[in-house]
Amino acid sequence: MVFLSGVLGASLFALASILGGLQIEGYSTVSQYISESFATGLPNTGYLRLMYVIGGFLLFIFGVMAPTVLPKSKILKIGFLLFAIFYGLGTITVALFPCDFGCPSDIENLSLSQFIHNIVGFFTYLITPLGMIATGVASRKWHYLNGLSKVSLICGVIALTFVFFLFTDSTGPYIGLFQRIIECNILFWVVYTAFFSRVSKYQVR
């Protein structure tokens, strides 16, 4: 279940983000948010939102179940639960409450959907890398988790670094690029951990 939910959840998220950009003429993956590809007012976005909802649910399951195939550790469990709540459920929430057309940053004219979208997105990107870093720190205790520890720390730190860039220049020309670097590091960590879970149960704990 950990393997399937992780790989399928990450794949659905990645596929939805690619398809969303391809169906909009002139869409830029460098300067536009992923959310702009399924914003309110755009046609043919229902299937994209559904893909994000299903992907988010699978990623939530992954975050909840991953600690069951790893050594017992409170920090490890907290790290994965933070991921499950803020990234898994967060993905579902931003899909159900899409941003307004163009994802405007004008606070005075935000719709309720845009407001919820922004708040959830903020905490998702702030907390998720911290959860990944927490799993990396906790994993250092066991030698056979050395690979997981390194990947978690590297991906978490890179993601957090670009979260800082994104938050400090949320309307700049490279927001799409920054966001995709964040997402790539998170999803790579998910897939790596999912494959790692396939062999971890055979290790001596």
pLDDT at 168 over 60: yes
What band does 77 get if pLDDT is binned at 50, 70 and 90? very high
DSSP states of 67-91? GGGS---HHHHHHHHHHIIIIIIHH
Q: What are phi and psi of 62, to 5 degrees?
A: -55, -50
Give the per-residue pLDDT at 201.
54
Question: 25: how many CB neighbours lie within 10 A of its CB?
Answer: 5
CB count in 10 Å sphere of residue 58: 24
pLDDT for the residue 101: 86
pTM of the model: 0.92
- DSSP 3-state of 202: coil
Q: Tell me the pLDDT tens digit for each residue of 1-18.
A: 999 999 999 999 999 999
